[in-house]
Amino acid sequence: MKRIDFFLQNLKGKILDVGFSSGTMHNQILKKFDDKNVFGIDVDFHKEHNGNYVLGSAEEMPFASNVFDSILAGELIEHLYNPEKFVSEAYRTLKKDGVLVLSTPNKKSLINRVFKSYEAPLHFHLFDFFELKNFLQKEGFVIKTFFCLPFTEESCDGSRVPWLFFLRKWLHFVLPTFLQEDMVVVAKK
């Protein structure tokens, strides 16, 4: 399963895409959902958008409380200076029974342990599953779904060496979950 397919299956209602302007996922969301119900926030974007898009920080979201049914944070939390502020803001802005769908690199994956590939200048906070789970539960979220996906061209701008992506995908299927790469979580308010 591709990461975007999983996201599309778990998003519903009024959706906030945090960090929407990076990558191509947002376009896939707009194809599936009515653009009147899709909102975005990012620190930098240059495209023309309707009034549903806000220039701003994930750590201080300018939205009312209890307004979104779903919040998507794909490969975002590791780039934040204060991820705990984002998690708090996500919880505040989600409606009762709303879901936070996120993905982030697993700092204890075999690939990272060997190559330190996630320890990049723009990655301020890395998590393993237990840290991420505790982090979300501390705010009040309940983990509904957790699994890992291999990194692919879709999910990272890393190496463009085709055999490396093949190796990463192959390793994914032979490693236990705690050593796999890209953590995907659905957490319910």
Q: Is 99 exposed, middle or buried (0-12, 13-18, 19+ CB in 10 A)?
A: buried
> Is residue 127 scored above 70 in pLDDT?
yes
Q: What pLDDT is stored for residue 60 in this prediction?
A: 96
144-177 residue pLDDT tens: 999 998 876 655 555 556 667 777 788 888 998 8
Q: Comparing C-alpha atoms, which of 116, 111, 15, 119 is closest to residue 68? A: 15
Q: What pLDDT is stored for residue 152 in this prediction?
A: 64
Task: Answer whether 106's CB lies under 8 Å from 49's CB.
Answer: no
Cα 83 to Cα 80, 183, 187, distances in angstroms: 5, 16, 15
Question: What is the SS3 assignment for 86?
Answer: helix
Angle at 143 between CA 153 and CA 72, to 5 degrees: 45
Confidence class for position 122, pLDDT limits 50, 70, 90: confident
Q: What pLDDT is stored for residue 165 in this prediction?
A: 72
17-34 residue pLDDT tens: 999 987 678 989 999 998
Contacts of 168 by beta carbon, 8 Å cutoff, 6+ apart: 111, 150, 151, 152, 181
Least confident of 11-25, 48-62, 110-124: 110-124
CATH architecture of 3-188: 3-Layer(aba) Sandwich (3.40)
Q: Comparing C-alpha atoms, which of 43, 40, 44, 34 is closest to residue 12? A: 34
Determine the Cα–Cα distance for residues 141 and 34; give it in Å rounded to an integer.
27
Torsion sign over Cα 80, 50, 24, 176: positive
